[in-house]
Structure 1
């Protein structure tokens, strides 16, 4: 792949987009005369709305509004990466959500495809996983090789610009991505510098949110469609009798669905889906999703 990574370091001054109103509050480094001094434009009401939304379904939308106060973005994506030695990729990717002020439904549709089929092998982000510190990268969309990935995720939705901010350590990282559609200007250096300084404000909120709110989708690369067949074969071999719903929810979890996402897909209440999981796990003798994956992979 020819994706180009551009790493952006801290700037001395950060300018806001000229067509946006100046914010009513600015957060400064303790010593404005210090080397590396920077400004972050923040509106108190938008920051307050984001803080109040932590742990709720409105959080990603609040982050989208917060970012757009300073940087125009047609789509905003939030994910978490966790090291997992049991995964073929070495990581579990959790899609915490995506937001857009203009194309919400289309953004969610495209990103559902991305996190189902492409996120583990994305040539931009795969090299970043497991790297400690803060990284800011840009994707050179024109440099992506022609193929299904480019067509479905960029060309058809009209995504022409993308940048991503990553922060964490070798075991746990959070990533915030911004995208612009065809015809929009490229991200400027001032915007990228400004984006880089959002780490200290936003990423602690991401951690709190992820602890209390389930991911929209989980991708680990551990179990694929063939493994679903192995799941069915082992159920038959060991004569384990699952109800239809118990069977469906286990298969969805093996596809990377979270329990809330499986509940939505099965059109049942979350509490009902959790009951299906509890009963199925008891019959299988497992306690966690990780043990469910292992149960499928172990031939006994």
Structure 2
């Protein structure tokens, strides 16, 4: 993958430094911020959103949209439902990389790539009070997209793998509060669990699977099952469902 082919006529050393920082941040939570800085130095924008769209098997509808990162000013427009999203028809029909400009309620330039039933979207936003993207700016964004979209695809793979390895990946915003509640419940019940037993319980309660927990803790899946059995025995319940009922106080 020749990431700099689209920048072969660029002689700005700062851009290459930014590109190096962006490549280094793939899979990391700072990736969107690094990309916003890189794009923003070339074309003024106030917000950047990255996402991965998955179409159903016959590619006739959107099955899932995953957020891969956001940076910049808080979003000023309501979140679009996938079935009503202004990009929907273009994304469904696309065969080649796209550049789509949408001018309401904010000025947007959407860069889109495809592979099979997946679509990756870089959404660059500019306040409606500012001028629209010029033809020269759109041309520059299109050239940058040849470099940036492959990086977004790579970032998506690494980022989603990292999310799946974390306990509580299905409820990432709630894992901290759940850990606190879990600890309080243990104190109320006067139950003592080992650190590994607690980690496994919290991970499973927040949506992690046994294989994900095994990978995260670098142990066998059978060891995760053992930790769970020990923990639930101490709690007086059985299995993952019993753990969930105990956590709910039922």
Deviations 1:210-237 (A, max 9, x none): 111139x9xxxxxxxxxxxxxxxxxxxx
Instruction: Give the equivalent residue in structure 2 for 1:198.
Output: 144
By relative contact order (CA 8 Å, sep 6+), the higher-ranking structure is: 1
Q: How does 1:234-253 map to 2 (within 5 A)?
A: none
Q: How much does 1:67 deviate?
A: 0.8
Distance 1:161 1:59 in 2: 22
Contact 2:109 2:124 survives alignment (8 Å)? yes
The TM-score, its normalising length taken from structure 2, stands at: 0.61
Cα deviation 1:144-181 (Å, max 9, x = unaligned):
xxxxxxxxxx4xxxxx3111111114411111111111
Residues 271 and 164 of structure 1: is their aligned pair in 2 closer, same or farther, counting only changes over 3 Å? farther
TM-score (norm 1): 0.52
Which whole-Å CA distance do the structure 2 matches of 1:169 and 1:129 have between them? 12
Q: Tell me, yes or no, if the aligned pair for 1:82 and 1:172 is still in contact at 8 Å.
A: yes
Q: State the aligned residue count.
A: 182
Counterpart in 1 of 2:53? 81
Between Structure 1 and Structure 2, which shows a larger proportion of helix residues?
2
* Aligned residue number for residue 60 of structure 1: 32
The equivalent residue for 1:260 is 169
Q: Look up the match of 2:7.
A: 27
Superposed CA RMSD? 3.5
Q: Assess if the C-alpha contact under 8 Å between 1:80 and 1:175 holds in 2.
A: yes
In the alignment, which residue of structure 1 is the partner of 2:86?
124
Query: How many angstroms does 1:27 deviate by?
Result: 2.5
- Map 1:1-300 onto structure 2 (within 5 A): 27-28=7-8, 43-85=15-57, 89-100=61-72, 103=73, 106-107=74-75, 114=79, 118-130=80-92, 131-141=94-104, 154=105, 160-214=106-160, 259-260=168-169, 262-267=171-176, 268=178, 273-276=202-205, 277=207, 278=209
> 1:10-61 CA distances to partner (integer Å, 9 max, x unpaired)?
xxxxxxxxxxxxxxxx9226xxxxxxxxx59661221111011111111111
| Mean CA deviation greater in 166-175 or 63-72 | 166-175
Q: Tell me, in whole angstroms, the C-alpha distance in 2 between the residues paired with 1:209 and 1:272.
A: 29
Q: More deviation in 119-128 or 47-56?
A: 119-128
Residue 92 of structure 1 deviates from its aligned partner by: 1.4
Task: State how far apart, in whole Å, the 2-side matches of 1:98 and 1:136 are.
Answer: 19
Which structure has the greater CA radius of gyration? 2
